[in-house]
């Protein structure tokens, strides 16, 4: 069975949530805060250093400064800073909730 990108992202997020809840690596407050900002995945153009732009998928609302996006070409998530030109990749990559917890 082939999943679409939204289903794939949802599977990744739920797998990470369960793993973190079982391991206790992050507190429940951080996990809850992430899912309170969670939105249905939406396409967004992300800016990278060197003037590169790539189509990614935003998975959270901004917390006022940052949002989390999924980078399908890389297969992982990125913490992006909000800017007037759209989300800007700041080099924090990996699982979504862990990226979110870095700020």
Tally of CA atoms within 13 A in the half-sphere of 52 that contains its CB = 7
pLDDT at 11 over 90: yes
**pLDDT score of 24:** 83
The whole-angstrom separation of Cα 16 and Cα 3 is 18
Secondary structure of 48-89 in HEC code, one letter for each residue: EHHHEEEEEEEEECCCCCEEEEEECCCCEEEEEECCCCCCEE
**pLDDT score of 1:** 52
pLDDT at 34 over 80: yes
Of residues 94 and 103, more confidence is placed in: 94
Picking from 78, 59, 44, the residue whose alpha carbon sits closest to that of residue 14 is: 59
Picking from 90, 82, 94, 89, the residue whose alpha carbon sits closest to that of residue 46 is: 89
User: What's the pLDDT band for 2 if we cut at 50, 70, 90?
Assistant: low
**pLDDT score of 69:** 98
Give the whole-number percent of the chain exceeding pLDDT 90: 88
């Amino acid at each position: 069975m082939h999943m679409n990108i939204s289903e794939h992202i949802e599977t990744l997020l739920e797998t990470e949530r369960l793993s973190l809840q079982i391991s206790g690596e992050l507190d429940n407050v951080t996990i809850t805060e992430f899912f309170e900002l969670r939105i249905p995945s939406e396409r967004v153009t992300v800016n990278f250093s060197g003037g590169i732009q790539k189509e990614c998928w935003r998975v959270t609302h901004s917390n006022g400064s940052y949002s989390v996006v999924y980078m399908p070409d890389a297969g992982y998530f990125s913490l992006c800073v909000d800017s007037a030109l759209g989300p800007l990749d700041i080099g924090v990559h990996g699982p979504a909730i862990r990226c979110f917890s870095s700020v």
